[in-house]
Structure 1
């Protein structure tokens, strides 16, 4: 399910008590996070939400529940969803001299509830600009009728499971060649994973419940301890002013579990923990890496990529 922070209120994201204008009866209306239970909620313009709306999300993201105690109604609704949010710098550009919370205008208490946080800079290097321009033009040319006639195609339409009343704009649609490749402007095909197969695979991974091994447990504890030590050596904060809390430990467990599910494994191994550690470290120190990238580009005039 997708929504926007600019057009949503605390009522639309969590839950609210609605009063019928004719009968005067009160009813409980579920918000986007409740409707996305056991799914994924995508929030665009996350920085445009009012402070009251952000406060309403603290409980939902921490406890995975939404509690309502209004107008004589007391209820607790499940909001067991993953939140994928996108935010823009409040000042129009990202300043690598300041921490993430300052740039996006979000409180640390809310940022710490995200397992991973990544910074995407607007790079001005010539090579990067050409690569972005070629990618956009390639997508535009591929969408023209001439490109579609370059090879035999078939249309694959997939409809995800969604609640009643959701419009057809959320229906995924793609054009594939008969051999399972994506049609390109030059008539060549690029291998892609069919949407149907991907959905079936994701549903299969949800049936797996991997358990932590002793080695994985020790690795997670050691990695969390090292992150805390690095934070203490930097006046109690990460390199981007990101505070490493116990939620980072929970993030390591969740990411390692997710990686084990992708392997359809019944146990969480050392390789799963390694992936989780690399992701969390790249997220915690994203601001520092962003500053290094910007400095390298200024010195060389080239785009720096990992």
Structure 2
């Protein structure tokens, strides 16, 4: 059985952050790119449709977006606006890399070896950190588990960053091509903002912790230094040729040191999820395969035939950043019992039991105000541990 070789990425963020422009630019630069909008596409338009010719009565196949983007990238915008039947049509293509059809006495299978880059907006217009990704998007767990990386973009007010972005937009409309300095300033400020956000989260685990102090992280190497001028951007044709050459001729293999780093990261994740209890979603071999795919893709970016330990560390940093967005709540704390497809910051069953017990005590005592010790005592009577009671109370306070 062949292993999936294409990586899928989901970008979730508040409206107006340029997700659609990023997808359109990716589809234009890719050697074979297809851009579709989720709210105007059908399941047949995404996969394959079977039509019957009027003259002869024979059946013919019409390729959809995934089949047309074979060996390329399929950019799906407004991913949250798609219906459930359209999401189910993507399951086979995203994991098995082919589309099967059995209609009108015709049974066949078409290749769909494509990477999917999807963008979605939260259901309520603004991303709520107290809820998980599945609750914000209303997308099923099997579909979310097929994405290798998941990034959350939040529109947080920042005076300096907003000033740089407004200057960049004004320069585009006024015709002043002075965007290089603005872009360098944006990269410096955005990366520093991300680093400060990570420091505030106070992570102390070996899996989600930072790298050695002597080594520069991936985010530090991607940003411009003070006084450094932005290089001239490559043309679209040069990028297409580079991608075509890398996909056709470069076949990286994992080095022993890189495999050790990925295996250690995977085993530590398994141990952390095992310690989180039965409510935590399992870390399966699908996560390990995603790490291998991303490490090989990182080596392809430099046209190397061997994926080194540095590539593995970069991929671990990417995965760590993705998991920080997925598992952290609105207070910046990590909860491994909440994933992209589990319940929110507190278990729904525990919350219902606690609220039912609280309502019974309120009617019996004819009071509506309780102290924290009284709430903990009510939670103990409902067979809830103090940690679960605190999580329920914190979630209710955050929701008002």
TM-score bracket for the superposition, by shorter chain length: 0.7 to 0.9
Which has the larger Rg?
Answer: 2
Mapping 1:193-272, distance limit 5 Å = 193-206=234-247, 207-235=249-277, 244-272=283-311
Do the aligned residues in 2 keep the contact of 1:69 with 1:75 (CA within 8 Å)? yes
Tell me the secondary structure at the aligned position of residue 126 of structure 2: coil
Q: 1:203 to 1:237 in 2, by over 3 A?
A: farther
Is the contact made by 1:46 and 1:87 (CA closer than 8 Å) also made in structure 2? yes
Deviations, residues 79-119 of structure 1 (Å, cap 9, x unaligned): 00000000000111110001111111111211111111100
| Distance apart, 1:132 and its partner CA | 2.9
SS in 2 for 1:76: strand
Instruction: Say how many residue pairs are matched.
Output: 248
Structure 1 alignment gaps of length 5 or more: 149-187, 295-306
More helix by share: 2
Paired residue secondary structure (1:86): strand
Distance in 2 (CA, whole Å) between partners of 1:132 and 1:73 is: 54
Residue 127 of structure 2 corresponds to 94
Q: Distance in 1 between matches of 2:232 and 2:51?
A: 49
8 Å CA contact 2:72–2:115 kept in 1: the answer is yes
Instruction: Sort the Cα spacing of 1:100 and 1:237 in 2 relative to 1 into closer, same or farther, 3 A.
Output: farther
Quote the Cα distance in structure 2 between the aligned partners of 1:83 and 1:193.
Answer: 23
Equivalence for 1:191: 232
CA-atom RMSD, angstroms? Answer: 2.3
- Supply the distance in 1 between the matched residues of 2:230 and 2:266 (Cα, whole angstroms): 44
Question: Can you give the 5+ residue segments of structure 2 that lack an aligned partner in the other structure?
Answer: 1-33, 178-228, 334-400
Q: Choose from 50, 73, 90 the match for 1:17.
A: 50
Asked if 2 retains the 8 angstrom alpha-carbon contact of 1:66 and 1:77, the reply is yes
* Residues in 2 aligned to 1:130 and 1:105: alpha-carbon distance in whole angstroms: 34
Aligned position for 2:79: 46
